[in-house]
Every structure is written in C-alpha cells, then in structure tokens.
Amino acid sequence: MQKIAIETSGLTRRFGTQLAVNEVNLQVPEAAVYGFLGPNGAGKTTTIRMLLGLIRPNAGEVKLFGESFADNRLKLLQRVGALVETPSLYPHLTGRENLEVTRRLLGAKRELIDRALGIVKLTADAHRRVREYSLGMRQRLSLALALLNNPDLLILDEPANGLDPAGIHEMRDLIRRLASEFGITIFLSSHLLSEVEQVANHIGIIHQGKLLFQGTLAELQAERHEHLTVGVTQPDQAAKCLTAAGWQVQRGEDGLLNVAATTREAAASINSLLVGQRLDVFHIAQAQASLEDIFLNLTNNSAEQEAAR
Amino acid sequence: MIFFRVLHAEMLKLKRTLAFRMVFVAPVLVVTLIFFILYEKKEFKPDFDLWDAVLKIALNFWAVFMMPLLITLETALLSGLEHGEKQWKHILALPVTRKSVYLVKLLTVHMLILISMTLLIVLAICVGLVFIKIRPALANTGMPPWGWILKHSAYVWLASWLIMAIHTWISVRWASFAVTLGAGIAGTFFALFAASAKLGKFYPWLLPVNVFMDGRLKMALLIGIIGGIVATVLGCWDFVRRDVA
C-alpha cells in the first residue's frame, strides 16, 4: 500500500464570514511531487499554514506520515522543511549566519550548513550579507533553510514568485533534483499550471477553498477532450447552423468555434454543411484541450456553481 | 533543550544590530550628562558626598527616563527582527515551542537591560574616580558604596519587570514600529505627570524610580515582580494561540 506523507480530512478554516478553506481532503503520497494549484486567493497559503501549524483549522485534521499533527507537532516538524511565500531572512546577517540561526533552532549538526549551501549553489556567496543578495539568491537561501534538517517532506508555497525567467528555471531544476536525487516528498503550491506541470507528478486543484481535483498528472491529462476547431468568417451564423444540426458548439476566445467532434468524417460533414449555407470556412483542425483549459474549466465551473447558489 | 536552542539562535541574531549597539549608547549618554553637571560645579562643600551625587543622579535618571525608553527601543528592535521579513512564519514552522520563542525574546530584553545597567554603574564610578583626581576638594572621598549600588540596581531591575513584559507583548503583537514606540514614549512621558499623583505608586513606568522614594519601595517591587509575571503569562498565552500571518 502506498504510504501517505500528507493527509487532511475535512480541513476547514474561516476568516470571519469568509470560508477560506472548505473541507479539503488532501492525499499526498510519499516521494511524490505534488502540485497544489489554484488562482490567487483560492486558499493555498491558508492550507499550507494549517499544514505547518501556523494557523489552526476550525474543523478537520492534518496527518503527516500517518500521525496526527496536533498531537505530534514538534516530532513531525523535525521531518518537514518549509518555504512559505516570501523568503524570511535576516538581511543584516550573512547567508551562512542565516543558516546558522536556523541550525541552532533545530539543534542540527554544523556540517549540514555546507551541504545545504552546496545543494542550492550558494557556497561562494555564503559570506556575503543577505541584503546584498538578489531575489533569486534569497529564494535559494530560503530553500537551503528549508533543506537544513534533511527533511522527508518539503512544503514550498509559490517558490517561483517574483523570480525572473532564469530564476524560475533554476528553481524548477532544483526542485526536480531534490525529488530525484534525495527522494524528498515535495508539496508545491502555485497559481501557474505551466510551472507545476513541468515538475509535479501529482496535482491538486483548489478554488474558492474547495479541492476540485486531486490525482496524478496522467489522470488530469486524461480529462483532456479532443474537439474540432472551425474557423468561419461569420461565426455567429455558423454556430447557429451547427447547433441546429445537432452539434455541440462553443465560441473560443480566439474567434474560432470549438465543436465536440473528433473524426475526419465529422470534419467533412461540418465543412459541407457550412459551405452549403454559403459560409466561408477557412480553418478546420483537430485540437486537444490544454491542461490550462482543464484548469480554467474546473475553476470557472466551480465559480458558476457558487454564483448559482 | 528547546529553550536554550532558541536562546542560542537569538544571540546570533543580535550581531550587527542597533539593538546591541544601544546597550552601550544609552549608559554613555547618561554618564556624559553627569560628567558635565559635575564639571560645571566649581565649588564643593566639605560635606559633599560625591558617590551619592554621581550614583543617585545616574540611577534616578536611568530609572525615570533612559531605561523605559531603552526598554521600548530594545523590544521594538528585537521584535522588528522577526516582523521585518515575516520571520515568525519561518521560526514557528520549525520544531520549537512558541512559549520558548516568546520567553527568549523577553529574557533577551532583560539581559540587554542588565548589561546596559552594569555598564552605567561602571561608567558612573569611573566618572567619580576622574573627579577625585581632577578636583582637589574631592580627594578624600572614600570607596564607592558597593552594597548600596548592588541593592538599588537590583531594585530598579526588579521594578522594571512589568514594563519589560508589557513592551515585549506590544512589540511582538503589533508589527508596526510606531505602535511600540508610541506606547513607550506615551508611558514614559505620562510618568512625569503621574509622579506627583497618589496613584503614581501604581503606574508601571514609575515603578523603577519609585524604589528611591520613601514609602514606595515595597509597592514598587511587589507590582513590578508580580505584575511582570502576570503580564508575561498573559503575553505568552496570547502569542501561543495567535495565528501567524
């Protein structure tokens, strides 16, 4: 049976009347890279803060490695490294001194500092004060702090936030390396699907505090549906015509029509129908919904359902 | 033990900070003031007690004005280290108890104030020795009254427990430097008005100076120590149950 690193049941948190996290049931397998996705304000950071005991849930429970977090906080945090939102560093201290502060708090061995600096490639800059560091270096140093106690679970909240493309690339490589070389379970939150799908093998999608999807990346990709995209000079007229003929049609943002059909025969008959109506067809192609589309569909559907209540 | 690990880390955080530098600046300011007061005095009567003058001015000025302001500044700066880049979320996601984090902050303030006060006494004695050398009228002054110094320094420190606990709580609770400094400055300046009132003996910011006033010593120590412990317990309770933003 697969071991579970993070398990939450009915995790709920309110801020006044606002329900920030609504009965979230997470299942993060050990050694997985779990991408926790959601738009800004979806409840990602609140969930992460509850996983780390920074805020208390109104209802529900957190279990790490099969043990209740509430009953074993200190013991479980020995196995966890975390980077929550922005880097939390002491700018007046050097990189090495920042690590030393955390090492003392952990009661860890001194050698671990060099190891952590090596992993994030900051050994050469460790003597410099943090106020002289670039944002990318600060983010890497924060990751080194999270790695210092040789954790089994790494919780990273928007680690690419504020980084330039080179910094994002560097961070992505680092996360991949941590998972493959050290076998650490990584729980990674982001609002960028494109970022997460490049490193994660498990995905959870949260929106308005509710977990809308949870599964492997392959399971999410299986939700992709193929369709035909049709380009017509008179799209409104064409949509009416196709709908009247029994096809399911959606207007795409690019002006093309998305028709729920996949075969060549379907493409040919749609073409004949439109041409027969004297509509000018300039494009017909098979297409697949991107993960971005699935993500947007899930979050938009959820928003519509919420509005309908 | 977790408490000592947290304390060990806190000591490193003080490196290159204004909080640490102020420990030395504050007593130097007080002693410089005393030096110029005595320097302006050209004649000394035969019954002039140099040690009484130097040490009483030093400790009174310290207790009524400089120490409350230093406590305000130190608590604001020490908590500012954690508020600055929201370090609370990093520290409290580590395997340490919140209680130990809070108590270490308070203990650090106590340590810095004690170091500063010790330095004040040493420098004040140095000033006294300088005047014994440069003013022939004071040549027959004896040794400093060590017993009095020790006893009254301890009283001032004990009576300040309450304001240290109050300021630690305020500075940890509110990230804004203005709130902490505002509370400290208001507390210290209201003390000037409260001093003449009957209720002044209960006013937290007056307790350290009340130890020098007739009939107010016991009350100052009682409120300082017991109030300090109660305020510490309440502040710690608030910190332990609070959400970390």
Regarding the domain delimited by A4-217, which CATH topology (the fold level of the hierarchy) does it fall under?
Rossmann fold (3.40.50)
d(CA A10, CA A58): 10
Q: Can you give the pLDDT of all 245 residues of chain B as single tens digits?
A: 899 999 999 999 999 999 999 999 999 999 999 999 999 988 888 888 999 999 989 999 999 999 999 999 999 999 999 999 999 999 999 999 999 999 999 999 999 999 999 999 999 999 999 999 988 888 888 899 999 999 999 999 999 999 999 999 999 999 999 999 999 999 998 888 887 788 888 999 999 999 998 889 999 999 999 999 999 999 999 999 999 97
* pLDDT of A193 over the 90 cut: no
In chain A, which segments carry CATH 3.30.70? Answer: 226-288
Is the pTM value of this prediction over 0.95? no
Digit-coded pLDDT (tens) for A88-110: 999 999 999 999 999 999 999 99
Residues of B in contact with A90 (CB under 8 A): 13, 81, 84-85, 87
**CATH 3.40.50.300, chain A: domain bounds:** 4-217
Joined together, the tokens standing for residue A245 give 């003929």
- Do the interacting molecules here have an ipTM over 0.85? yes
Residue A25: both structure tokens together: 């049931």
DSSP A94: B
pLDDT recorded at residue A307: 65
Tens of pLDDT, residues A246-258: 888 888 767 788 8
Inter-residue contact B185 to B192 (CB < 8 Å): no
Contact B9 A78 (CB under 8 A): no
Mean pLDDT of A233-240: 89
Q: Closest Cα of chain A to B76: distance in Å?
A: 16
Indicate the DSSP class of residue B200: G
Residue B93 to residue A97, Cβ atoms within 8 A: no
Fold of A226-288: Alpha-Beta Plaits (3.30.70)
Ranges of each domain in chain B: 2-241
Would you call A102 and B96 a contact, using CB atoms and an 8 Å cutoff? no
Higher pLDDT, B29 or A163: B29
Q: A226: pLDDT confidence band, cut at 50, 70 and 90? A: confident
What three-state secondary structure class fits A34?
Answer: strand
**What element of type H or E holds A73?**
helix A73-77
Which residues of chain B have a CB within 8 Å of the CB of A21?
A: none
Closest residue by Cα to residue B59 from B162, B167, B145, B187: B145
Residue B59 has what pLDDT?
Answer: 94
Residue of A nearest to B10 (CA): A101
